[in-house]
Structure 1
Amino acid sequence: MNWREIQLDWSSLICSGSTQRKVASLLLAMLINTSLATAQLPQISPRGSKSAPSSSVTVEPGTQKTNQNGTWTSFLGNQRNGISEETGLNLNWNVHRPSVLWRVPLGSGYSSIVVADGRIWTMATHLTNDFVVCFDADTGKKLWATIAAPTYLDSQRQARGPRSTPTYHDGKLYCLLPAGDLLCLEANSGKIIWKKNIFRLSGAAQQEQKTIYYWGMSASPLIEGDLVILQPGGSNNNSVIAVNKETGKLVWSAGNDPPGYGSPIVIEAEDQRQIIVPTGQSILSLNPKQGGLLWRVVWGNKYNCNCATPVWNEDSLFISSAYGTGAMRFALIRQNESLRPISRWKTLTMQNQFATSIIKDGYIYGPHGDLAAVTYRCLDLQRGQVQWMSRRVGKCTQIAVENHIICLTEQGTLILIEANPAEYREKGKLTGLLGFKAWAHPALANGRLYLRDEKRLVCLDLKQK
């Protein structure tokens, strides 16, 4: 939002008649010509006191669109595996360079984008607050911005703003902020339905006060039935919690692990539906209804830094972490009426730092490395053997579509490669769209690719012409 879009509340002026009109005109001129005209969104209308601003800042409500087929409703897409089911896209950028449909300013943060009903949502920081923001998916016009929480700055002072991605479900948004604030909002209007803090709700310690937990709540909320699954990371049977999605009330809590940064997923194996949670020191499997522990795999490093989301592939689970942890594929076997995780292989040749690997047609694709040089690799899922590696991509986030992988490097370069286990084959590279740090995962819906860094939001047209 720029200053031209602000709707001044003229009734707040304490003058009247011609004097009021003169003062109003003078103020409007000052606002339009101020150096803040290029500030990042969102700006706040001067309503009420500065200490208690309005929680929802509406620019224009817009109308809900229901004629678009493409959706991307959660972190890493509808199935939380980074794979889009869309077809008929332009996937040869060396021949047909995708066009930019629109770009808009955006504040700091690493939240990715969710898409439904002709709208997109993400989170960003501006000045002293973190916001949930909604845009029109076709035009990039901002529809509303709602104050969610005070701006967060991690203990290492690396970055401000939200880390996790909103989850869209049944006309509502579920948003987790870095200091544990959890909001349920109306997706169309941005109105807050309920708001809780998961630390106060669960009794878990405020994690950012601990030196072992550096970067704030980063896992995106998971909707499972009537529940929202979250991970405050308590040590008293409150590491993972489930709250009612309609009220925010606590339903169950489980586990004693410190929090991780990766997001939970839900799978079905051996006729058992289960929630898989990457904590700071393990991978947990929980019964969704009661939160009972089904199994636990010790998995972690000295930083409690499990950032990549587990990936389920029909009959096995793939997990990967950096800082010397590595990767493992394991199957879930039922023995004596209980599930047991059985390791198929473990390797140090794939260490995902914050990006989640893509599994496509029996092969694993992803970046390997953390603080030193990062290479992009392909591994055989069956044996865990490296098929090839390349330095042309480096540290990146990624999604997959139609046997291709779209990689967004942290410098903001977009690279399209084939999901080809035989060799690294590049189908296009786009530079100059974004800048450092581009850590949010791309999102794809209705033939449009949505990208962001810490300053802007960009939409590319991937439809075939």
Structure 2
Amino acid sequence: MSRTDVDFSFRKSVPAYWFLKWGVLLLLWTLALPGPLSAQLPKISPGSAQNQDRQSREEPNSRDSTTTEQGRWTSFLGNQRNGISDETGLNVNWNKHKPSVLWREPLGGGYSSIVIADGKLWTMATHLNHDYIICLDALSGKKLWSTRGAPTYLDNQRQARGPRSTPTWHAGKLYCLLPAGDLLCLTADTGRILWKVNIFDISGAPRQEQKTIYYWGMSASPLIEGDLVILQPGGSANNSVIAVHKDTGKLVWSAGTDPPGYASPIVIEAENQRQIIVPTGQSILSLNPKEGSLLWRVVWGNKYNCNCATPVWNEDSLFISSAYGTGCMRFALILQNEELRPISRWKNLSMQNQFATSIIKDGYIYGPHGDLATVTYRCLDMQQGEVQWKSRRVGKCTQIAAQGHLICLTEQGTLLLIEANPTEYREKGELTGLLEFKAWAHPALANHRLYLRDEKRILCLDLQEK
């Protein structure tokens, strides 16, 4: 007999007034107890998620509809992989209207960010000895399913356990890459595994743990381009970058000779030519999506092969940035003799992103600069690469942008709202105690709700304009 059946038969055998009496007593006793986290964490707004869930059922055309692009955040750094949300109607004055926590749930270790579609969210986390793909209801935080992906990963330096990359949602399926190279395709609704391959096995690329201690696991999020899934195992025998078919996981092409990086690939169009931009451990590659042929290569890296920030395309320029003395560069893609060539516009040391990707907004670049020493938050001019201002208020952080503002999550778990203003650092609100160290996963935004996580929990904030 199911749990539902037991509860139903029990209710039929007990008078209704018994439930009323004991229900009131239980409620009063519960309210009298101090919450175990109340001293550290902001209170959850009573009934917020449930009330909004009921409203969405009563008003099918309300702002909670997930049939529009606004209701989705389908990949690492959002739908366009640039960290920018197109949502409007957001609360962007936290000093006056402090966002409330709609729900908070336990999760587990890992740095995977969050993707959202069709009223659900997905991420990855470690539990005991395995890494899992996890699905929650986006409105209530209720766990819908979890699927075991692979044994838990721990790098040689024992920096952290669990998944690094972010799932990619596409046409009702999830594409998930785990740190040891296991690539899974699952049904987004149920978590059923459709196929599973290991990208080191199918590409022949060596596992980096066997080559150096300065390696921290597969971290780049899968990119869907047409019928292909683009990944980067990193190999020196024309197998640095691979494409597998999204329906079968079978290898379609491989290319390149660079070691792996940690940043995610993107797809752009320049001079009417579609191309995949792949940040490796020692370069930025441009590949033809159909057969993987090399279009151009820019040498870019450091002694750790630690390129972590995803390249950012801005109309006619590509911006790249790395830490450990590497710096940043803006270059254009120019057609010369019927071939695309990268032409540097400027290069300097003014922005060195360690693990967060910079945001380009209205001709200016915003992001954290630094690695092992002091980290400052900066604004650079896109045209010349000159520093407009810098602040120590933020420190190491991840970030996204929405409605003319930057939403920065520090690694200690503090959330800051900063105006995207090139003339001065202007803070519009701060929320402390939301999460704990290490909060390295990028925020995600959909349907006026902001989703955050650290290595212990996941939570949802209400960003609806008041």
Query: Which bin holds the TM-score, normalised by the shorter protein?
Result: 0.7 to 0.9
How many Å separate the matches in 1 of 2:3 and 2:279?
42
Say which of 64, 67, 78 aligns to 2:65.
Answer: 67
Match of 1:362 in 2: 363
Match of 1:330 in 2: 331
How many Å separate the matches in 1 of 2:103 and 2:335?
51
How many Å separate the matches in 1 of 2:320 and 2:72?
26
Match of 1:141 in 2: 142
How many Å separate the matches in 2 of 1:285 and 1:6?
55
Q: Which runs of 5+ in 1 are unaligned?
A: 8-37, 39-62
Indicate conservation of the 8 Å contact 2:357/2:399, yes or no.
Answer: yes
1:131 alignment partner AA: Y
| TM-score (ref. length: structure 2) | 0.86
The offset of 1:212, in angstroms, is 5.3
Match of 1:263 in 2: 264
How many Å separate the matches in 2 of 1:443 and 1:99?
16
Match of 1:350 in 2: 351
How many Å separate the matches in 2 of 1:214 and 1:434?
27
How many Å separate the matches in 2 of 1:207 and 1:271?
36
Match of 2:39 in 1: none
The offset of 1:208, in angstroms, is 2.3
The offset of 1:210, in angstroms, is 2.2
How many Å separate the matches in 1 of 2:206 and 2:226?
27
The offset of 1:464, in angstroms, is 1.4
How many Å separate the matches in 1 of 2:380 and 2:421?
11
The alignment yields a C-alpha RMSD, in angstroms, of 1.6
2:269 alignment partner AA: E
What are the Cα deviations for residues 226-279 of structure 1, in whole angstroms up to 9, with x where unaligned? Answer: 000000001000000000000000000000000000000000001110000000
2:156 alignment partner AA: S
Match of 1:225 in 2: 226
Match of 1:304 in 2: 305
How many Å separate the matches in 2 of 1:86 and 1:209?
45
1:67 alignment partner AA: S
Match of 1:159 in 2: 160
How many Å separate the matches in 2 of 1:119 and 1:134?
7
Indicate conservation of the 8 Å contact 1:212/1:303, yes or no.
Answer: no
SS at match of 2:367: strand
Indicate conservation of the 8 Å contact 2:156/2:213, yes or no.
Answer: no
How many Å separate the matches in 2 of 1:420 and 1:353?
23
Match of 1:44 in 2: none
Match of 2:413 in 1: 412
Map 1:178-197 onto structure 2 (within 5 A): 178-197=179-198
| TM-score (ref. length: structure 1) | 0.86
SS at match of 1:200: helix
How many Å separate the matches in 2 of 1:213 and 1:79?
30
What are the Cα deviations for residues 359-412 of structure 1, in whole angstroms up to 9, with x where unaligned? Answer: 000000000000000000000000000000000000000000011000000000
How many Å separate the matches in 2 of 1:419 and 1:223?
30
The offset of 1:158, in angstroms, is 1.0
What are the Cα deviations for residues 71-101 of structure 1, in whole angstroms up to 9, with x where unaligned? Answer: 0000000000000000000010000000000
Map 1:33-112 onto structure 2 (within 5 A): 67-68=65-66, 69=68, 70-112=71-113
SS at match of 1:154: coil
Q: Cα gap change, 1:413/1:270 in structure 2, threshold over 3 Å: closer, same or farther?
A: same
Q: Is the counterpart of residue 282 in structure 1 residue 280 in structure 2?
A: no
Percent of matched pairs sharing the same residue:
82
SS at match of 1:155: coil
How many Å separate the matches in 2 of 1:195 and 1:122?
17
SS at match of 2:200: helix
Indicate conservation of the 8 Å contact 1:171/1:186, yes or no.
Answer: yes
Q: Cα gap change, 1:127/1:157 in structure 2, threshold over 3 Å: closer, same or farther?
A: same
The offset of 1:185, in angstroms, is 0.2
Indicate conservation of the 8 Å contact 2:397/2:440, yes or no.
Answer: yes
Residue correspondences, number: 406
How many Å separate the matches in 2 of 1:455 and 1:6?
29
How many Å separate the matches in 2 of 1:283 and 1:221?
17
The offset of 1:6, in angstroms, is 11
Indicate conservation of the 8 Å contact 1:179/1:208, yes or no.
Answer: no
Q: Cα gap change, 1:243/1:213 in structure 2, threshold over 3 Å: closer, same or farther?
A: farther
How many Å separate the matches in 2 of 1:413 and 1:210?
37
1:429 alignment partner AA: E
The offset of 1:213, in angstroms, is 4.3
Match of 2:203 in 1: 202
1:247 alignment partner AA: T
How many Å separate the matches in 1 of 2:367 and 2:429?
18
Q: Which runs of 5+ in 2 are unaligned?
A: 5-35, 37-56
1:353 alignment partner AA: Q
How many Å separate the matches in 2 of 1:455 and 1:90?
27
Indicate conservation of the 8 Å contact 2:167/2:175, yes or no.
Answer: yes
Q: Which moved more, 1:338-347 or 1:212-221?
A: 212-221
How many Å separate the matches in 2 of 1:216 and 1:230?
13
Match of 1:53 in 2: none
SS at match of 2:126: strand
Match of 1:381 in 2: 382
Indicate conservation of the 8 Å contact 1:212/1:304, yes or no.
Answer: no
